[in-house]
Structure 1
Amino acid sequence: MTYRNHAEPKNRLGFTLVELLVVIAIIGVLVGLLLPAVQAAREAARRMSCSNNFKQIGLGVHNYHSAYNKLPGYRTGTNDGQTWPPGFTQNSNIFNLSPLVGILPFIEQQALWEQVSNPNIQNSDGSTRAVNDPWPPMGPTVDGNDQYIPWVTEAQTYRCPSDPGIGAPAYGRTNYAACLGDSYGNPNGEFVWWNTSDRLDDQGWVVNGRAGDRGMFFARRQTAFRDCLDGLANTIMYGEITTDLGDNDKRTRAAIHQISGASALEHNPLSCRGGLDPLRPQFWGPLATFTTWAGQVRLRRGAQWASAFDIMGGFHTVLPPNSEICTDAGAGDWGGVMTARANYTASSRHQGGVHVLMGDGAVKFVSDSVEAGDSSAGNVTPTANNSGRESPYGLWGALGSRASKEIPDMSNF
């Protein structure tokens, strides 16, 4: 017979403290390894959603063209012919609507389009205007009219899910801008945006405008697919832009050029680079200067989807994607005012590049390192006087021009 020693310890059924700490450490390591993968998966989903938005815009543009045999206009709309100073009126939009307005009924935004095209008397705060004083058809000026419901309504099709921008000072943001090509204005073809006529009777302006503005869109004229002689598959129609977060990001706030001379930016696309913060080159430093203007809203990238000021809804294929944006405008740094120059490239919150919408409706992703030629100082930017030249901005510039008879090497795209 055997006897059990009651002093002998019983078998333990739990974990020791060391074992528990080891398990916690292993779980922590696994979470650390999996979290970047989860974040990458979320960004991949947002990037796909952004691409789908672009496809919807592409279908809208093509359906618009099928209906009217032309593309939606850039800087078109209505003008009362009397407003002065320009930019702030309840009576018309002063020829400053973006192409995104015209395609509203073709992207399942019929309700918003009805509010734009038909006079209404309701304000964004719920109040009612006088019965005999409704908003005009096609709306008032986009700038400074936060009471007009359509201009402050944000269409989700016009927003990239990766862009966190929301609220004041912007309203009705957009992440998609029209391609204005590899040139940014010319003295002979530039228009005065508050002019009381549409300038179509000025044949000199029409000729120089067609020559100097080489993108799929340009001000006051509605182009068509037949104007795209380089081929729709070889020409960018729309591109991504980031919206401003108020942090002096070089991609969302335009600095004034750092080199003297009225045409400094025209001759040197890098002329604002001296204003970047050397320790944080993604942002402007203390040496950068900015033009001020009443309201300030129009001075930030992508702040108003309905506005056709270049900083709101246009981009140039001069500097590579996600480069700094720059202007030499003296009356407000949005570009397109009198003889002002502005160089606004594409940008996005995606890692490494931007989405672009080609003329045939295809959506492609362009790397920040796309071949973009030589942007160093020199008289290189195409204008009405040398419009037939090959784009000096490489593949990126060639894809932005609609009729320069260039055949891009898509293997580098």
Structure 2
Amino acid sequence: MRMYVKRQGFTLVELLVVIAIIGVLVGLLLPAVQAAREAARRMQCSNNVKQIGLGLHNYHAAYNQLPKQAGGSTPPGTRSNVNFLSFLVGILPFVEQQSMWEQISNPSTVNGNWPAMGPETWNTGYDPWRTTIGTYRCPSDPYVSAPGQFGSNNYACCIGDGIPWTDRGGVDDANSTVNPAADMHLRGMFKTRRVTGFRDTLDGLSNTIMGGEIVCDAGRREIIAQPVFIDNGDNHFNPTHPKCTANAIDPARPQFYVASAELQYSKVDEWRKGHRWMCGLPMYTAINTIRPPNKESCMSHNSDGREGTYTVSSRHQGGAHVLMGDGAVKFITDSIEAGNQSVGIAVPGMASPYGLWGALGTAMGKETQTLE
């Protein structure tokens, strides 16, 4: 007698149902995985900001002042950095980059003949200038420097709520002539080419922004990544100049500039926001508290990194990190109150016209606004 054994298995309909259920679950899971990864990247970015804050505090503890933004040296008869080194150079030993600091602070004959503290910050032949420091990069920003180009960065110091004179602070390249007319507009914890310290922050360290995030320009005409020129030779005083705002932004894609807007990298490819961590010109390593986070940036003149409105910006959703003077890291949303955007600093000591955002950027404005 034959014995028949009933085989167990899935029918075609059952198999299709299982596949459909798995597909739905994967579709639900992927956004959660992406969100979790971005949360981890944002946390690492916040940690980098914290490390820079600790580096600044340790620098201040060692030297009783903050590192100069656009400082350096001008030794006679040699190539030099012409007083354009950013604050990020000064804190290298305090963010576990002692070996990089030793390369820069000593003369070198590697691939050339370089003076102590390095050559011009636009010289791509110098190895340290081509090196990207991991602590200075936010993992949410995917930009990678091309081989042989400058090292990039995502963090900048706060130079306050002024525009004029903020590129050089009224100080010449030899660091010998100071124009007092610049003083009215240098209102942040960092003042370009000037020595500052915590003692100068009369508003309180916990109420004053010391630095913030910026986005590396990747050549996609994004408003968060690259400044617009207002015109050849013009000075920039109005934060909402139509050549930077209404006439420059694509109405169909408001996160991008129109094709006719004149951007910095259209002149020299290396002149891009966030593309030179060692350079103290404001486009590369400075922010001011005028335009709210993730708005457009705008600059004077048709040249490299001049004064302008340089916004805090990031690849995070809805805002960006800022570093407070006491070392705390805050996430500021794009909707922060930013006052009257159509005026500038008219008289010395005036309250910031840019609301809470502007008040947080001034070191001695005596404003009462604080971040909760």
- Could you state the TM-score of these two structures normalised by the residue count of structure 2? 0.92
Which residue of structure 2 aligns with residue 310 of structure 1? Answer: 282
Which residue of structure 1 aligns with residue 344 of structure 2? Answer: 381
Q: Does the alignment pair 1:214 with 2:187?
A: yes
Pick aligned residue for 1:335 from 291, 306, 310: 306
Give the C-alpha shift of residue 409 in structure 1.
Answer: 3.8
Which residue of structure 2 aligns with residue 344 of structure 1? Answer: 310
Task: Kindly indicate whether the alpha-carbon contact (under 8 Å) linking 2:228 and 2:261 is maintained by their aligned counterparts in 1.
Answer: yes
Pick aligned residue for 2:321 from 342, 349, 355: 355
Pick aligned residue for 2:48 from 50, 53, 57: 53
Which residue of structure 1 aligns with residue 26 of structure 2? Answer: 31
Which residue of structure 1 aligns with residue 95 of structure 2? Answer: 107
SS in 1 for 2:237: helix
Give 5+ residue unaligned stretches, structure 1.
83-89, 124-128, 337-341
SS in 2 for 1:197: coil
Q: What RMSD in Å do the two structures reach over aligned CA positions? A: 2.3
- CA–CA separation in structure 1 for the residues paired with 2:99 and 2:275: 22
How big is each residue's C-alpha offset from its partner over 1:105-137, in whole Å with a ceiling of 9 and x where there is no partner? Answer: 1111000000000011112xxxxx3xxxx3101
- CA–CA separation in structure 2 for the residues paired with 1:300 and 1:217: 22
- CA–CA separation in structure 2 for the residues paired with 1:310 and 1:198: 20
- CA–CA separation in structure 2 for the residues paired with 1:185 and 1:314: 14
Instruction: Note the 1:8-407 alignment, pairs <5 A.
Output: 11-80=6-75, 91-123=79-111, 129=112, 134-143=113-122, 145-168=123-146, 170-186=149-165, 190-191=169-170, 195-199=173-177, 202=178, 205=179, 207-257=180-230, 262-263=234-235, 265-271=236-242, 272-273=244-245, 274-290=247-263, 295-297=268-270, 299-330=271-302, 332-336=303-307, 342-376=308-342, 380-383=343-346, 386-407=347-368
- CA–CA separation in structure 2 for the residues paired with 1:372 and 1:147: 42
User: Larger deviation: 302-311 or 277-286?
Assistant: 277-286
SS in 1 for 2:124: coil
Number of residue equivalences:
368
- CA–CA separation in structure 2 for the residues paired with 1:269 and 1:198: 34
Task: Kindly indicate whether the alpha-carbon contact (under 8 Å) linking 1:244 and 1:303 is maintained by their aligned counterparts in 2.
Answer: yes
Q: What letter matches 2:248 in structure 1?
A: G
Q: What letter matches 2:298 in structure 1?
A: C
Task: Kindly indicate whether the alpha-carbon contact (under 8 Å) linking 1:60 and 1:103 is maintained by their aligned counterparts in 2.
Answer: yes
- CA–CA separation in structure 2 for the residues paired with 1:191 and 1:291: 23
Change (3 A) 1:72 1:239: same
User: Larger deviation: 300-309 or 243-252?
Assistant: 243-252
Task: Kindly indicate whether the alpha-carbon contact (under 8 Å) linking 1:183 and 1:214 is maintained by their aligned counterparts in 2.
Answer: yes
SS in 1 for 2:289: coil
Change (3 A) 1:305 1:291: closer
- CA–CA separation in structure 2 for the residues paired with 1:292 and 1:42: 31
- CA–CA separation in structure 1 for the residues paired with 2:145 and 2:371: 39
Give the C-alpha shift of residue 219 in structure 1.
Answer: 1.4
- Percent identical: 51
How big is each residue's C-alpha offset from its partner over 1:169-220, in whole Å with a ceiling of 9 and x where there is no partner? Answer: 8521000001011111259x95365x33332xx4xx2x43333211111211
- CA–CA separation in structure 1 for the residues paired with 2:61 and 2:18: 64
Task: Kindly indicate whether the alpha-carbon contact (under 8 Å) linking 1:269 and 1:318 is maintained by their aligned counterparts in 2.
Answer: no
Q: What letter matches 2:97 in structure 1?
A: Q
Task: Kindly indicate whether the alpha-carbon contact (under 8 Å) linking 2:226 and 2:264 is maintained by their aligned counterparts in 1.
Answer: no
SS in 2 for 1:97: coil
SS in 1 for 2:144: coil
Task: Kindly indicate whether the alpha-carbon contact (under 8 Å) linking 2:233 and 2:301 is maintained by their aligned counterparts in 1.
Answer: no
How big is each residue's C-alpha offset from its partner over 1:199-254, in whole Å with a ceiling of 9 and x where there is no partner? Answer: 2xx4xx2x433332111112111101010000000000010000011111112221
- CA–CA separation in structure 1 for the residues paired with 2:79 and 2:327: 36
SS in 2 for 1:35: helix
Task: Kindly indicate whether the alpha-carbon contact (under 8 Å) linking 1:179 and 1:237 is maintained by their aligned counterparts in 2.
Answer: yes
Task: Kindly indicate whether the alpha-carbon contact (under 8 Å) linking 1:170 and 1:304 is maintained by their aligned counterparts in 2.
Answer: no
- Could you state the TM-score of these two structures normalised by the residue count of structure 1? 0.84
Task: Kindly indicate whether the alpha-carbon contact (under 8 Å) linking 1:80 and 1:92 is maintained by their aligned counterparts in 2.
Answer: yes
- CA–CA separation in structure 1 for the residues paired with 2:181 and 2:69: 17
- CA–CA separation in structure 2 for the residues paired with 1:78 and 1:295: 26
Task: Kindly indicate whether the alpha-carbon contact (under 8 Å) linking 1:251 and 1:325 is maintained by their aligned counterparts in 2.
Answer: yes
Task: Kindly indicate whether the alpha-carbon contact (under 8 Å) linking 2:233 and 2:300 is maintained by their aligned counterparts in 1.
Answer: no
Give the C-alpha shift of residue 291 in structure 1.
Answer: 5.1
Task: Kindly indicate whether the alpha-carbon contact (under 8 Å) linking 1:242 and 1:252 is maintained by their aligned counterparts in 2.
Answer: yes
- CA–CA separation in structure 1 for the residues paired with 2:239 and 2:54: 37
Give 5+ residue unaligned stretches, structure 2.
none
